[in-house]
Every structure is written in C-alpha cells, then in structure tokens.
Amino acid sequence: MSAQLDSIYEVARRSFLRAIRQPAAFVPAIVFPLFLVAVNSAGLDAATDLPGFPTDSYVTFALAIPFIQGGTFALLNTGTDVSTDVETGFMNRLAMTPLGGPSLLAGMLGGAMAIAVIQTVFYIAIGFVVGADFAAGIGGIPLLFLLSLTISFAFSCIGTFTALRLGNSEAMQSMFPVFFVFLFFSSMAMPRDLIVQDWFRTVATINPLSYLIEGIRSFYVTGIDGEALALAFGISALLIAVFLSLAAASLRTTLVRT
Amino acid sequence: MTGVAGTTSGAAERFWGVARAVAWRSTHNFVTNPALFLPAMIFPLFFFGAFAGGLSGIDSSPGFDYPNGYTAFEFGFVLIQASAFGGVFTGFGIARDFESGFGRRLMLAAPNRLGILGGYAIAGLTRALMVDALLFALALLVGMNLSSNAAELLALLGLALVVNIGIAMWAAGIALRFRSIQAGPLMQTPVFLILFLTPVYVPQDLLASWVEKVSAVNPISPIVESSRNLIAGSFDGLLLAFLCGGGLILLFGIWAVSGMRRAEAAGG
C-alpha cells in the first residue's frame, strides 16, 4: 500500500512539475479567465439595470466565470499532458512497471488538482481585491474552495478521457474552443430567467455548465443556497463518476494496446 | 544577369517544392483525421449560434443601426474568428511536428527551410477556406441578410484569409520557439484576447469604458468592422482593414522567420 502511494505521489509530482515548468501552459490558465470577466463586466454592465437582475454589480455576478473557465484549462492541460504521454511512448514504459491503471490516473489527476488549488486561491483573492460582494461570508470560503476543486477535478476527468481516446496532443489543443463555447451557451452572461430567446434559454437550462456557474455564483450573490449547491456538487459528482469510469476503461485499452 | 535570374528561379523552385510537400502533408493529415477536422469545423458554428442566437435582442437596443440584422452583424465577427483560429490550429500542427522530432527531419531534408513555413501557411489557408465555406453555407441557411455583390464577397474572403495568414505566422513563431504542444495556450489565448477586444457584441460607437478605448486602437477592430460593412454591401474602411491585416502578416511573418532561425539554431 505504501509503495502504491509512493508511486501515485511520484506520478502526481511529475504531473505538477511538468505543468509549472511550462509557463506557456500555466500562466494563460490563470490570467485568461480573469480577462474574460473584465471584458464581460465592461461590456455588459448595463445589464444590472434590467428588472430582476440579482445584483447591482456585474463584476460580482461575473466572478463565477474564472472558476469554470479555470476548469476548462484544467481539462485542456491535463488532456494535453496525457496525450503527449501516449504519443511519446511514456505510457508504454509505465505499462511495464507494477503501477496499475487506477494509481496512474490518480497521479495524473493529482497534479492537475495541485494547479487547481493555486487557481482557486488566486480567483478568491482577486474577488476581494476588486471589491466584489461575497454574500456567503467568510464561512462560505471553505465550501467555495471545495466546490471549485470538485469542478476542476470533474473537468480534468473529461480531459483525461478525451486525451486517452484521441491520443493526439494537437487534436486535444484543438478541442479547447469547442469546450470553451459551451460557456457561451450557459447562464454565464445573464441569469437564465432573463435570457430573451426561448431556444437559447432552453439550451442554457440543459447545459450542465449553467448549474456549475450558478453554484459558484451563489456564494457571491445570494449567500449559501442549498439548491444551487446541491445541483453544482451533484452534477460535478456525476461528471466525475461518468468520465473517471470512461477514462479508466480507456486507460485499460491503451495499456493493453501498447 | 542570367546567373542571378537562374539563382533566383532556383531558390523559388526549392521554396515551392518544399512548401507544396509540407502543405499537402498537413492538409492530408487535417482532412483524414476526424479528431483534427471536426473541432475546427464545429467550433465556429457553435460560436455563430451562441452569439447570433443568444444575444440577438441587442439589435433592438438604442443606437444599434446595423442594417442587415444581428445575425449578419455577428457573422462578420465569427468569420474573422474562424479564420484566425485556423491560423492557431496551424501552429498546433507545427508544434506537434517539432515536438515529435518530425520537424528536425523536415529541416534536414528541406533545401529551403522557409518553404516549410510557407507550406504550413498554405495548409492553414486551405483549412480556413473549408471552414469559411461551411460557415457561409450555414449563415445563408439560417436566413442571414446578405447585401454584398461578388466583389464585396471576394474582398470579405480576402480579409478572412489575410487574418488567417497573420495569425498562422504568430502561432508559428510560438511553435518554433517552444517546439512543444504545451505552448498551445500561449498561441490561442492572446488570439482570444485580441478578438474579444474588438466590437464583438455591439458596434464601436456603443462600446463603453476601457473596452471602447482598447477596441479603438486594436488592429483587428477595423478588420471586423470592414467585414460587417462588406456584408452590408459597402467598401467603407476596407483599405484600413487590409493595411492592418498586411501589418499583421509583416510583423508576425518576421516573428515566424526568426522563430525558424531559433529552431535551426537549436537543431530542430
């Protein structure tokens, strides 16, 4: 058991070090989501005048975006690392060691989670720096932290599965705009009940990202909201269960094939 | 004199020989690999749907006076965005080739290494043409109001392709310096940034705060605005747009060529 934990630790350490030694991958993952908040806040500030808009500060409303967007970067970076490992034959070499598939997955995702911790601390701090409201109070911070990491873990599982299926780092990078656009089909920019177009409101209602955003947003806008949090944690847990199982199955195939 | 002409013609021949081969390989890889082909084709359609559909109420806001409606207004942006990302995807291909060692072999074999860059650029243009054609077909299918004549349509396509080459050179410069696909976020994130700092959702006059100031000096803004004018049947701002696009190609062309020199110095 101890040897297994040591192996997981080493794979996670490698994954983390590889990420932070590549500023070209790591820095955009932190900076770009904040930029999107800045642009949306500048362009859509007038939306706070709409009757029924839940806050008079668009920045407060928009601060949920970086947490989710950070998750999409976790997906991209984890996926790219995993697909590079497949391409370069690192997976082949690991297959010849006693390290099992679940330990390998745990290690790869552990590295992504270490990055997610840094992202989450940064985003929470930025919220306070720009003077956004935080309706949940100081007591809500640990819960926000937990939800943010759960979401990042779910996205990393999606990235790992996609990478194992594609086995192609170029294709993995090309998937980013496809995942990114799902944010625009959600309640990212407007509360769902204020979206004018019926079809768009329907898509935003079906889109699980809306519920993840609304879960994070509740900490800033309404305070601890049991329903929003149950949905956000529930959907994250479902994504983890589905994509972790799929990733484990794909990893078995990859290791056998190699 | 004949000797000089002969040398020039030989250099051009070597350049095009390499460029043709690299372009063929990249295009073949793109078209025959669904994992590369589908995301490139799908994501502009998604963006078009998200912007033109989700925000269509904006065309009734005071001061919004674009005559062809919000779908056409957003089409102008999405066409430029799709072409720009065609360029970014070209950079991904270069980074992957150099990371896997193929780039090193390519440099050893190529009698003219700038031909390698030219080949990737041609492949990027081919990709952009496919994506732009699909986007046009979809826009017309959903009833986009198009007022352009043939010359204006040609100019619109020209603008999109100029942006594609410019951004491909940007991404190539990054790819050749890092020679790792892990530099992918560095290729695409600044492109997202500069695109979203144009008049994406509303015309320039309706922008407010700091975005308005940045958008006013953003070299992509005249390109986006001119593409919208062309859709509405006007050549207004076209010269400035092509000047900005040409500037991008020149600037990032130098960036890409110096990247190639770095890759040569590092042994591929």
- DSSP of B64-117, one letter per residue? ---TTHHHHHHHHHHHHHHHHHHHHHHHHHHHHHHHTTHHHHHHHH-S-THHHH
**Cβ <8 Å between B46 and A178:** yes
- Tokens standing for A236? 């994250």
pLDDT at B257: 95
A181 or B88, greater pLDDT: B88
In 3D space, the residue among A23, A22, A74 whose CA is nearest the CA of residue A180 turns out to be A74
Residue B233 has pLDDT above 50, yes or no: yes
In whole angstroms, give the CA distance from residue A137 to residue A122. 18
Chain A residues touching B100 at Cβ < 8 A: 87-88
Residue A45 has pLDDT above 80, yes or no: no
Length of chain B: 268
Residue B2 has pLDDT above 70, yes or no: no
Chain B residues touching A28 at Cβ < 8 A: 185-186, 189
Chain A residues touching B39 at Cβ < 8 A: 171, 174-175, 177-178
Beta strand spans in A100-239 (E)? none
Mutation choice for B interface testing from A14, A15, A40, A173 by most B CBs within 10 A = A173
Q: How confident is the model at residue A196 (pLDDT cuts 50, 70, 90)?
A: confident
* DSSP structural state of residue A188: S
In 3D space, the residue among A37, A70, A59, A44 whose CA is nearest the CA of residue A221 turns out to be A59
**Cβ <8 Å between B186 and A185:** no
- C-alpha B77: how far from its chain's center? 12
Q: Which of A137-141, A253-257, B163-167 has the highest mean pLDDT?
A: B163-167
- Tokens standing for B254? 């130098």
Please tell me which of the candidates A39, A81, A168 has its beta carbon nearest to residue B197. A39
- Tokens standing for A48? 């706070």
Q: How far is A23 from chain B (nearest CA, A)?
A: 8
Which tens digits make up the pLDDT trace of B135-177?
999 999 988 889 999 999 999 999 999 999 999 999 999 999 9
What percent of chain B has a predicted confidence (pLDDT) above 70?
Answer: 94
pLDDT at B45: 86
- Tokens standing for A139? 């007591």
pLDDT at A258: 46
Report which secondary-structure segment, H or E, holds A175: none
Task: Name the residue with tokens 């502009």.
Answer: B44
Mean of the pLDDT values across residues B87-94? 93
Please tell me which of the candidates B35, B180, B201 has its beta carbon nearest to residue A43. B201
**Cβ <8 Å between B184 and A35:** no
pLDDT at B162: 97
pTM as predicted: 0.81
Report which secondary-structure segment, H or E, holds B252: helix B238-265
pLDDT at B85: 92
Chain B residues touching A173 at Cβ < 8 A: 92, 181, 184, 188
Mean of the pLDDT values across residues B184-201? 89
Mean of the pLDDT values across residues B100-123? 90
Which tens digits make up the pLDDT trace of A59-111?
899 999 999 988 888 888 889 888 888 888 888 888 788 777 778 888 888 87
**Cβ <8 Å between A24 and B174:** yes
Average model confidence (pLDDT) across chain B:
89
Which tens digits make up the pLDDT trace of B47-64?
888 877 766 667 777 777
Q: How far is B202 from chain A (nearest CA, A)?
A: 9
Q: How confident is the model at residue A44 (pLDDT cuts 50, 70, 90)?
A: confident
In whole angstroms, give the CA distance from residue A69 to residue A66. 5
pLDDT at B194: 92
pLDDT at B3: 54
Query: What is the Cα Rg of chain A in Å?
Result: 19
Q: How far is B63 from chain A (nearest CA, A)?
A: 14
ipTM for the predicted complex comes to 0.70
Chain B residues touching A22 at Cβ < 8 A: 180, 182-183
Give the burial string for A198-237 (b: 16+ CB within 10 Å, else e).
eebbebbeebbbbbbbbbbbbbbbeeebeebbebbbebbe
pLDDT at B1: 43
pLDDT at B157: 96
Residue B92 half-sphere exposure toward CB, CA atoms < 13 A: 24
Mutation choice for B interface testing from A32, A39, A174, A185 by most B CBs within 10 A = A174
Residue B107 has pLDDT above 80, yes or no: yes
N-terminal to C-terminal alpha carbon distance within chain B: 36
